[in-house]
Structure 1
Amino acid sequence: MRIRQAEHVFDAPWDLVVRAQFRKYPNEFNNAVEGVDVVERRVDKTGTLYSHRLLSTRWGLPGWATKILGACGHAHASEHSFVFPSIRLMVLETKNLTFCNIITVDEKMTYRPHPEDKNKTVLHQESVVNVQGVPLSSYIEHYVIDNIATNAEKGKKAMVSVMEKIQKESLELQHGAQKTMEEAFQKLHFNERSPF
């Protein structure tokens, strides 16, 4: 078994980071995630947003590893997320569904506001990889952990890109609303002055 823990600080407020997380895939920085399907999404009576998604991925394992594992290169994972707005916490737990009798990859990510700067968000990520019952299991675990680290770096870039898109969309909506209000005011003002 191999464990990887990492922490990263996003230079963005928690609510923006959470919105970006839901829109992270697919992205131009990491093409390993090919599709996302929402299985369930609901808000409970406490205001907690619960979401269950299925991710379709390409693991990018080398040919020798796919032969040992008997895999085809495509895999599916189950992601459960919980957003607790009252305490400003998001938790994502992801587990592979494909060939999980040989290899398990459990990942947990938490997003919290930075304790000293409310305009920043702290991401804590923990990945646990366990390969058993096949030759070179320790080597495969090491390879998967390295792949997770590489994809995490791509994921950070994707998050920043998505946050920029969200901010741009927000500005466009604000400008559009302002323009509509100005046009409506001009028509109203014109109609008040018109003798007809």
Structure 2
Amino acid sequence: MKTWTSEHVFDHPRETITTAAMQKYPNPTNPSVAGADVLDRHIDPSGKLHSHRLSTEWGLLTGAARTKTYKNILQEYSVEKTMELKSTNIPLTNMVSVDETLIYKPHPQAPETTVLTQGPTITMQGVSPSSYLEGLMASTISSNANKGQEAMERVTHRLNAETEELMALARGRIRTPTVAVAAFVGKQ
């Protein structure tokens, strides 16, 4: 079993980062993940938001075509000013189990920023040499974590631009919204 944690500070408030986390996929930084389907989302009596999503990826190659497969079960819990996301892989769980926890919360010394604490656990069963393979997977997961942070920055910048544009539109400063804002407004 291999476990470690890392931290990353986003220069954005927690509200923006948690919104970006919900809209992270699809993104060009990790094109293999097609999206995340919401299976259930509710608020419990204590006011805690629970969200269960299933991420999909176009990962299995069958001949010349790629097949949509389900990759992870994502369980999100949001309480007070903390969002916790737990991810468990679905394929090959009898051989390789990857459980990951991401916690987003305001930075204690700079509340206008957000701290991401990320901690995966990799467990291999019936595979030799498992410690070598766990190390390889750890390296891949670490690289993907950096890509995930880049994707979050990309989504955050898009959200900020859309918010600024909507605010300007509401104040009458611009007359014609961009395609992104027009699409957003059209969804309402």
TM band (smaller chain): 0.7 to 0.9
What residue ranges of structure 1 are gaps of 5+ in the alignment? 61-71, 183-196
Match of 1:16 in 2: 16
**Alignment-derived partner of residue 49 in structure 2:** 49
User: Looking at CA atoms only, which structure, 1 or 2, has the larger radius of gyration?
Assistant: 1
Q: Report the residue type matching 1:80 in the other structure.
A: Q
Query: What residue number does 2:170 align with?
Result: 177
Q: Does 1:91 align with 2:84?
A: yes
Structure 1 position 82 matched with structure 2 position 67: no
Deviations 1:52-111 (A, max 9, x none): 001123679xxxxxxxxxxx9x65210000111xx2000000001111011100000101
1:163 to 144, 156, 167: 156
- CA RMSD in angstroms, aligned pairs only: 2.2
Query: Which of 97, 101, 105 lines up with 2:94 in the alignment?
Result: 101
For residues 139-173 of structure 1, the C-alpha deviation after alignment (integer angstroms, 9 at most, x for no partner) is 22111111110011011111111111111111111
Q: In structure 2, the residue corresponding to 1:122 is in which secondary structure? A: strand
Once residues 18 and 136 of structure 1 are traced to their aligned partners in structure 2, the CA distance between those partners, rounded to angstroms, is 38
SS, match of residue 105 in structure 1: strand
How far apart, in 1, do the equivalents of 2:149 and 2:17 lie? Answer: 11
For residues 32 and 141 of structure 1, do their structure 2 counterparts lie closer, same or farther at Cα, with a shift above 3 Å needed? farther
For 1:80 and 1:94, locate their aligned partners in 2 and report how far apart those are by CA, in whole Å: 7
SS at structure 2 position matched to 1:179: coil
Specify the alignment match of 2:142 in structure 1.
149
Q: Per the alignment, do residues 59 and 2 of structure 1 end up closer, same or farther by CA in structure 2, a change over 3 Å counting?
A: farther
Q: Is 1:116 aligned to residue 109 of structure 2?
A: yes
Q: Which has the higher helix share?
A: 1
Residue equivalent to 1:191: none
> Higher strand fraction: Structure 1 or Structure 2?
2
Indicate the percent of aligned positions where both proteins have the same amino acid.
35
The separation in 2 between residues aligned to 1:4 and 1:174, in whole angstroms, is: 42
